Structure formats: structure tokens, C-alpha cells
Structure 1
């Protein structure tokens, strides 16, 4: 059975609207990067490197480099093929996939998922994969070394910690 994420992406893409595939691809990219929607909207093709992207943070206007996950790379390849464009052009062909995401969740009988929730999905998945909190915090653009991430995801970090203890052999 496909994951919830795959079901949502398939539901969005299958709507046969002009922007359906683009909306699904933008959702995939957001879930694969942890970007705020405002950061994603400001992303230009010149900001994309082969293994990462560089952008100005939304909250403090500093540069931030974030490595690309496989899902993000795939989404960028799809967007590039769908919408050939120059270095100065925006990466995303739409303002927001908010309505497409909300409608997909409703069609699938899933709880409402906001665009910002995709950021939480990214943070949760990276922490579950064993990426350390300060690194995840840096990717998210937090300036506090991970304090906010620890507060926000402490329940998840605790669960992960309980699973990790089984690796210890004393």
C-alpha cells in the first residue's frame, strides 16, 4: 500500500487540472526540503546547485545552504522539464499548492494538512533518519542551534531515542 505522502501526491496529480502535476511536484519539494512557503516562493533557478540550494532565510535575511534530498531532486527535475526557464526565473510555477493539498486530504479522508505541515514532515523524517538536531535546525533556518527543534519535536526525539538504545551493547 502506498504511503500517505504518495497517496496525497497521486491524488493531486490525478485531478486533470492544468496545474495538477505542478502542484503535486511542489508539495513533494516542500516535504523534501522543509522550506517555509515564503522561502520556496523566493527560490530562483540560480539558487539551485547539483546537491543543494542556497537561499536567503525568511526571518533574518541570511544565506542558508540546504542539501537536496532525493525527493527534492526529483521534484526539481520534474519542474525543470515541465517549465523550462532561465536562472533568474522562479522555481515554482504557482503561488501555493494549498488548495490542491487540502482537497487531496479531503478526498482521501485524511486529516487536514497545511502547507506548513510539510515543513514538520521534513523535520520529523530527518530526525527519524538519525540526523542530529543542530543539523536539522540549520536546514530549517533556525538560529538557536536546535533549541526550538528540541522543543517542537521532543516527543519524536524521545521516541527515536527509545528505539536507538537497542543499538547499544554494554
Structure 2
């Protein structure tokens, strides 16, 4: 993905991703610095990447129709990657660096949208004799509150 405001950076890859990308090299004497390139080997623009993604999404929707109702855009994929890192327990400062955020506050916004992470954190503070989980009011309490 192009970095914001023309920032330069590199992104570490899993071994599996590196092997897949290595398989894409087509006899170039020197591998490209970019994963997604034009015919001339230049970096694709954000619009060009979004266009390619939407074309592949249309093709993928034929075998997985539920994709048609989803908002699949490059930025959504980027945010999903960040959320998966956070869910895996990676420190928010490291995720900020990975994402190229100059301010950790940008990355912390991701934390506010994930209810599962909030529930997991809360479950670690639950007293031992309590079952934890979401609160469900009894009929008695609901009747009392409705009567206020």
C-alpha cells in the first residue's frame, strides 16, 4: 500500500507471504521495490490499487456472494490488518510504527471500536467468584427501572 503523505517505509512479511511474493518475480534481474507496479515497474497509485481490488472483488463475488454486501476497500484491509495485530496482543506503539502513523493517537482509535477486546480486558478484572460476561437485568430489575 502507498504510505500516507509520500512516506517511505517497509513492511515486514510473514514467511508465507514472502514465499508467495517471491513466486511473482517474473525473470527480473533486480526485484521491484514495490509489490503492486505498473508495466514500467513504477509504484501503482492509490486509485489504481483500489480499482484492481474492486475488479477482483467482482470476480470473487461470483463464488462468495456475501462479499457483494461488504465494504472492501484498501483502507478497510489496512485497518483490518491493524486490528488483527492488536487482537494478537501486539503493543499499540508497535502497530502505530507498522502502520506508519506519526501519532499513536491515530492507532488508539482502532482500540475504541473493538468490543471483543474490551470484553476480554474486562474479563481479566472480574472477581473469581463472578461469572463475568455481559450484564443481563432480571425481570424484577427491569420492571423497577421501567417504573421510574
Same structural fold, with TM-score higher than 0.5 when normalized by the shorter chain = yes
For residue 35 of structure 2, what is the aligned residue in structure 1? 91
Q: Match for residue 19 of structure 2?
A: 74
Say whether 1:159 aligns with 2:116: yes
* 2:83 aligns with one of 97, 103, 124: 124
- The normalised TM-score by structure 1 is 0.51
Cα deviation per residue 1:106-126 (whole Å; 9 max; x = unaligned)? Answer: 641223312322112211211
* Closer, same or farther: CA 105–128 of 1 in aligned 2, 3 Å: farther
- Is residue 102–residue 114 contact of structure 1 (8 Å, CA) maintained in 2? no
Question: RCO higher in 1 or 2 (8 Å CA, sep ≥ 6)?
Answer: 1
CA distance in 1, matches of 2:61, 2:111: 23
Q: 1: distance between equivalents of 2:110 and 2:123?
A: 25
Q: TM-score, normalised by structure 2?
A: 0.58
State the 4+ residue runs in structure 1 displaced beyond 6 angstroms.
Answer: none
Superposed displacement of residue 62, structure 1? 4.1
- Structure (1/2) with the larger strand percentage: 1
Give unpaired runs (5+ residues) of structure 1: 1-35, 40-56
RMSD of equivalent CA atoms: 2.9
Write out aligned runs for 1:1-170 (5 A).
36=1, 39=2, 57-59=3-5, 61-80=6-25, 83-87=26-30, 89=32, 90-92=34-36, 95-96=48-49, 97-98=52-53, 99-105=55-61, 107-110=63-66, 111-112=69-70, 113-145=72-104, 147-156=105-114, 158-166=115-123
- What displacement does 1:71 show? 4.5
2:11 match: secondary structure? strand
How many pairs were matched up? 111
Which has the greater radius of gyration? 2
